[in-house]
Amino acid sequence: METVPQLQRKLGILDDQFTQLQELQDENNPDFVVEVVTLFFQDTERLLNELARTLDQQTIDFNRLDAHVHQLKGSSSSVGAQRVQTVCVLFRNYSEERNIEECLKCLQQLKQEFYFVKNKLETLFKLEKQILEAGGTIPVQ
Amino acid sequence: MNLSNDRGSMSTAGSSVVSDQFPVGLRVLVVDDDPTCLTILEKMLKTCLYEVTKCNRAEYALSLLRKNRNGYDIVISDVHMPDMDGFKLLEQVGLEMDLPVIMMSADDSKNVVMKGVTHGACDYLIKPVRIEALKNIWQHVVRKRKNELKDMEQSGSVEEGDRQPKPPEEPDYSSSANEGSWKKRRKDEEEEAEERDDTSTLKKPRVVWSVELHQQFVGAVNQLGIDKAVPKKILELMNVPGLTRENVASHLQKYRLYLRRLSGVSQHQSNSFINPQEPPYGPLSSISGIDLQTLAATGQLPAQSLATFQAAGLGRSSAKSGLPMPLVDQRNIFSFDNPKLRFGDGQPQQMSSGKQMNLLHGIPTTMEAKQLVNLHHSAQSLGGMNMQVSAHGGQSGQSSSLMMQMAQPQSRGQIRNETAGGQVPRLPTSVAQPVLSNGVGSGVLTRNGSGENGRGIAYNTVSQASSMLNFPPNHTPELPGNSFPLVPTPGISTLTPKGPFQEDVNSDIKVSVGFISSYDIFNDLQQHKPHGWELQNVGLTFDALQRPNSLPSSVDATPSVLIAQRYSSSQRSGQNSIASSMFSVGEATEHGNSQNIGQNLNNLLVDNSMRVKTERVPDTSCPPGLFSQHYGQEDLMSALLKQDALAQLKMSLSLMVILWIIFLCSTRFIHQFSSWLQYLMYILAITQLTVRSCQQSVDRERKSIVWLHVAPSSFATLCCAGFIWT
């Protein structure tokens, strides 16, 4: 299981924005990061479903598609999910070009990246929780 | 009051809290449909110690704002929202509550940002938003309040009628009816009711002065007359419903400021035209420096004399503000008289001394340390040439000055000799090189050499000259012959400085003045020809130099071009070009490229004044009569100096001076020259350059005068050179 810095540097899954989130966390909000990330996961899943649905239509509403992708881009960048954000940019380009084929591919890619980062982070949080419950402390990175 | 959001959590907004602890406690309303971002923003703003209210729907945000108009200081809103466009919200908030609104989005494309600007957003943040960006948002609140305060005050002061004083926080709502009507004009119908209800508004809604509105305003003002235009009458004339007197008053004040600014700018612009006139003394100085160097190259003059020569020349140039100056403008070559232009200080005297410089022609008098200092000083103005000179040690300075001196007289006559030898230039070049490296900036002529082989350098600045001066005494072998391109130009012999030469010089080369003067000098020298120098040769060289284009020699760059380069491209390219030109001149001399030499001579000529000075300082070897001659010519020159041509003349004179000095310097090396012919050629080269520079710098009409000026200096130089030689 990689640490956050490793996730950042080696894999490029997370970027500096995630560090900012970590810095926002303090004693008053000890679970801030977890909260935000959880929110992100929930919202993204919703969005992904929306995207799938939109692309499934007979006539695809690209504006709607663009709006969703745009939002996903914003939220992923806010939490620092770098790879997700990158795919969103690509997705938007293809959406502008009305390239359905590529859009579908991008959607798949999005899902991939999203679940990957979700997996990693969830594991990380679980571990952290276990450490805290065992009485230890998480070293500040 | 508790604001609730249908979706996410809401934090209470301290509506009644006045933001005393600014920016702590700033009341922020953040609107974003993305819950992730919303949460993050809320947390960040709280960390900034702001009071945060978040909502994820624009409509709800608006209702919050309307319910509590006084409850918020600033709004942050996302651009893309499902229920309402962020820009629309922006407009509404601006109109209704006149709060500062910050837009944010993951979209950073320019057109979107522009849209934000045009809609009146006071800032635009790109997601992901960092906390640092949020820390600063309070500035928008302050700015807005400040502007409104100013507007109100302005309206109050401008209006002539009675105007109810409005406390900053509690604007007078007596005109709220007007404001309401105005707002009605600008807003949606649905908002009207809320607009009318502005008794609780802290701030007055903004009046946007559209183009038509402004046109009307200007028309009204013009009709009334700018002095008589009062807001009340303007308002009546404009007859725009909803426009208040205060609006007009504040706008009128701004308009008046704008008019005042316009008139001030136009004045300034007219003044600024004066400045461009000044510049280009450089070339002259550089030329003179070159002359000196050339002279020095000749090695004829004793180091001391060269030093003095150079000092004089340099001093002149500094005085003239042209000598050390790079050839900024060929016209200014002769603008020795405008020391202020470049070096501006107190050197006008030197300007006159510039004339005196002519006296120095060919007279490598011992240059006092002071003169040398002057030279250095001028070189400094050039940009440190002097430094280099000194850096190279007194020797170099002295030697260079000496060389200058030598060059000068020699330029007249000796140079010719030198040219034959073509060896002298080497020396100065090497010396010049180090010197040149100093004052690259100014010494177009001289500076060039710094990078270059040094031939050009020799010509570039006085310092170069000084360096060149060094040559004769010290670094004979060092000189790659660059510095004295003037001198060793076998081709120089092709120059014929005589009569036709003058014409040619003037026409061909900007520094023609210098040329002419040098030519004159050469003629004089010829007459005197103590050593039987072949002035003719010099003249020939001059010819060759003069006609950079016409010269049959293989010189690529015409001296004028080169000189022009020197002048124009002074600081940077000029340097190189000049150096190269000089280089080429030097090489030409050596390789029989008279043109190059001519160029070099031109350089020298540019530094005519310098040269003149140096000539002044020549050794006692030159007959005093020469000086008197020069002085006489100096008078003429002074007359000339009053004009641009004069400036050019000066430049060329200085160039000549330098040239002669170089000659003189080169004459020092006459002993090392195996053949007298070399020396002669050198002299010719220098003469050529001188004439060229004269030509370039002087008007056609002044040719005669230039020649008059040049002749004595040439003569003097040659005499000195001759003396030294013997």
Residue B442: pLDDT over 60: no
Indicate the residue of B80, B130, B131 with minimum beta-carbon distance to A71.
B80
Q: What does the mean pLDDT of chain A come to?
A: 87
Structure-model confidence comparison of residues A34 and B385, the more confident one: A34
Would you call B42 an interface residue with chain A, using a CB distance cutoff of 8 Å?
no
**Regarding beta strands B27-31 and B74-78, do their DSSP bridges make them parallel or antiparallel, or are they unpaired?**
parallel
Cβ-based contacts of A29 with chain B (< 8 Å):
43
- Is residue B357 within 8 Å of B661, Cβ to Cβ? no
Return the pLDDT at B383: 41
**Beta-carbon separation of A80 and B128 below 8 A:** yes
Determine the pLDDT at residue A48. 92
Mean pLDDT for all residues in chain B:
57
Q: Which residue has the tokens 């015409």?
A: B558
pLDDT tens, residue by residue, B341-400:
344 344 444 444 434 444 444 444 444 444 444 444 444 444 444 444 333 444 443 444
Among A74-78, B486-490, B663-667, name the one with the lowest average pLDDT: B486-490
Inter-chain CB proximity A24 and B44 less than 8 Å: yes
Residue A73 at interface with chain B, using a CB cutoff of 8 Å: yes
Whether A21 has its CB under 8 Å from any CB of chain B: the answer is yes
More confident: B399 or B76: B76
Q: Quick one: pLDDT band at residue B256, thresholds 50, 70, 90?
A: confident
Confidence check: pLDDT of A77 > 70: yes
DSSP string, B31-89: E-S-HHHHHHHHHHHHHTT-EEEEES-HHHHHHHHHHTGGG-SEEEEES--SSS-HHHH
By the 8 A CB rule, do B294 and B658 touch?
Answer: yes
Q: Would you state the pLDDT for residue A46? A: 92
Chain A residues near residue B129 by CB distance under 8 angstroms:
78
Nearest to A77 among B33, B47, B106 (CB): B106
Distance CA A82, CA A67 (A): 19
ipTM: 0.91
pLDDT at B104 over 50: yes
Place B634 in a pLDDT band, splitting at 50, 70 and 90.
low
| Of the candidates B450, B429, B334, B340, the residue with the CA atom closest to the CA atom of residue B387 | B450
Rounded Cα–Cα distance for residues B276 and B265 (Å):
18
pLDDT value, residue B675: 60
Yes or no, beta carbons of A74 and B40 under 8 Å apart: no
Using CB atoms, which residue from B33, B36, B106 is nearest to A79?
B36
Segment B262-270 mean pLDDT? 65
Q: Is B77 on the interface with A (CB under 8 A)?
A: no
Containing H/E element for B105?
strand B101-105
Residue-level pLDDT at B264: 74
Q: Which of A29, A35, A77 is closest, CB to CB, to B128?
A: A77
DSSP state of B229: -
Quote the CA–CA distance of B130 and B409 in Å, as a whole number: 74
**In the predicted model, is pLDDT for residue B633 greater than 60?**
no
**Cross-chain residue pair A67–B80, CB shorter than 8 Å:** yes
* Contacting A residues, span 28-67, partner chain B, CB-CB under 8 Å: 29, 32, 35-36, 39-40, 43, 67
Q: What does the pLDDT read at residue B278?
A: 43
A24:B33 CB<8 A: no
List, for residues B508-558, the tens digit of each pLDDT value: 444 444 444 444 444 444 444 444 444 444 444 444 444 444 434 443 444
Reduce the DSSP state of residue B660 to 3 states and report it: helix
* pLDDT, position A114: 92
B436 or B137: which carries more pLDDT confidence? Answer: B137
- Tell me, what's the pLDDT at B75? 92
* B190 pLDDT higher than 50: no
Q: State mean pLDDT over B631-644.
A: 54
* pLDDT at position B144 over 80: yes
pLDDT band at B670 (very low <50, low <70, confident <90, very high): low
Structure confidence at residue B151 (pLDDT): 82
Interchain contact B34–A (C-beta under 8 A): yes
Residue A87 banded pLDDT, cuts 50, 70, 90: very high
pLDDT above 80 (res B68): yes
CB within 8 Å: B128 and A70: no
pLDDT at B7: 38
Which residues in chain B (214-253) have CB-CB distances under 8 A to chain A?
none
Most confident of B3-17, B229-243, B535-549, B624-638: B229-243
Classify burial at B261, counting beta carbons within 10 Å of its beta carbon; exposed 0-12, middle 13-18, buried 19 or more.
Answer: exposed
Name the more confident of B365 and A121: A121
pLDDT given for residue B69 in this prediction:
78
* Chain B residues touching A73 at Cβ < 8 A: 106
Rounded Cα distance, B481 and B487, in Å: 9
pLDDT band for B289, please (50, 70, 90 cuts): very low
Calculate how close chain B gets to A83, using CA atoms only, in Å: 14
Per-residue pLDDT for B11 more than 60? no
pLDDT at B636: 56
Q: How confident is the model at residue A88 (pLDDT cuts 50, 70, 90)?
A: very high
**B704 in contact with chain A, both atoms CB, cutoff 8 A:** no
Answer whether B607's CB lies under 8 Å from B284's CB.
Answer: yes
User: Stretch B453-463: mean pLDDT, rounded?
Assistant: 40
Query: What per-residue confidence (pLDDT) applies to B374?
Result: 47
| pLDDT value of residue B2 | 42
Compute the count of residue pairs across chains A and B with CB atoms less than 8 Å apart: 57
B61 has a pLDDT exceeding 70: yes
Q: How many H helices and E strands in chain A?
A: 6, 0
Say if CB B714 and CB B295 are below 8 A apart. no
Q: Name B478's Cβ contacts closer than 8 Å, sequence gap at least 6.
A: B426, B427, B429, B430, B431, B433, B471
Mutation target for B interface from A78, A85, A95: give the one with most B CBs within 10 A: A78
The top-scoring range by mean pLDDT among B80-89, B194-203, B372-381, B581-590 is B80-89
- Percentage of chain B with pLDDT > 90? 5
Interface of B with A in 101-140 (CB under 8 A): 105-107, 127-131
3-state SS record for B380-405: HHHCCHHHHHHHCHHHHHHHHHHHHH
What average pLDDT score do residues B313-320 get?
A: 43
pLDDT at B690: 64
Q: What is the mean pLDDT of residues B317-334?
A: 42
